[in-house]
A and B are shown apart, each in its own frame.
Chain A
Amino acid sequence: GNSVTQMEGPVTLSEEAFLTINCTYTATGYPSLFWYVQYPGEGLQLLLKATKADDKGSNKGFEATYRKETTSFHLEKGSVQVSDSAVYFCALSVYNNNDMRFGAGTRLTVKP
């Protein structure tokens, strides 16, 4: 079946540190890959996406590259801010199958 595994948290970083949150996937077919972010007390928001191998999704300084050879979609940011504190979810959706699968989520806390 289709599934996503992401690194367990929580992750605590100082402001301006480099962030990596690992995500690997298993899928039949050709999935699209997503990162969602959930700020405290809110629903999930789409952060970035990539729909085919070697695509790079980017938004708000975050980046992730769709690596088919390693079945990975790691989230990175060069310099995190306190406002980036949130829970981050990796997800996949197989084309023509809208049953999106989410990872367990990684809580990020950024300290000043």
Chain B
Amino acid sequence: DVKVTQSSRYLVKRTGEKVFLECVQDMDHENMFWYRQDPGLGLRLIYFSYDVKMKEKGDIPEGYSVSREKKERFSLILESASTNQTSMYLCASSLKGGYGYTFGSGTRLTVV
């Protein structure tokens, strides 16, 4: 069964910490995405990547960065975590051409 795996289901971090969220897919997909999900706001795109070492800003990139050193892995980095980054973070991947995304199970991050 094809999968997108996010390294943690729940994470609690302190304000100011540098936080790494990891995502790995085993489907050889070119595209990978990071979203955050908040009540009443739906899914908002943070960053995406079309290829190794390539990244593009989404709608809300401020306070985040990403890394894609290998095709199967896409990392989201919170440079200095803040309480307003408490959220559910969802990773997704897809083939080129817009045929739907495969999502991971999500990481619920709490920043205290």
Contacts and interface: CB of A to CB of B under 8 A. Distances in A.
Interface of A: 32, 34, 36, 41-46, 49, 51, 89, 93-100, 102-105
Interface residues of B, number: 26
21 contacts: A32-B98, A43-B103, A43-B104, A44-B90, A45-B103, A46-B100, A46-B101, A46-B102, A89-B43, A93-B100, A95-B98, A96-B96, A96-B98, A97-B98, A98-B31, A98-B48, A98-B50, A99-B58, A102-B43, A103-B42, A105-B42
B94 A98 contact: yes
A34 B96 contact: no
Given A32-B99, A89-B43, A104-B42, 11 more contacts: A42-B105, A43-B4, A43-B104, A43-B106, A44-B92, A94-B98, A96-B96, A97-B98, A98-B97, A98-B98, A99-B48
A89 B42 contact: yes
Contacts of A89: 42-43
A49 to B, nearest CB: 6
User: Mostly helix, strand, loop or mixed at chain A's interface?
Assistant: loop
A49 B100 CA distance: 8
Given A32-B98, A93-B98, A43 B90 contact: yes
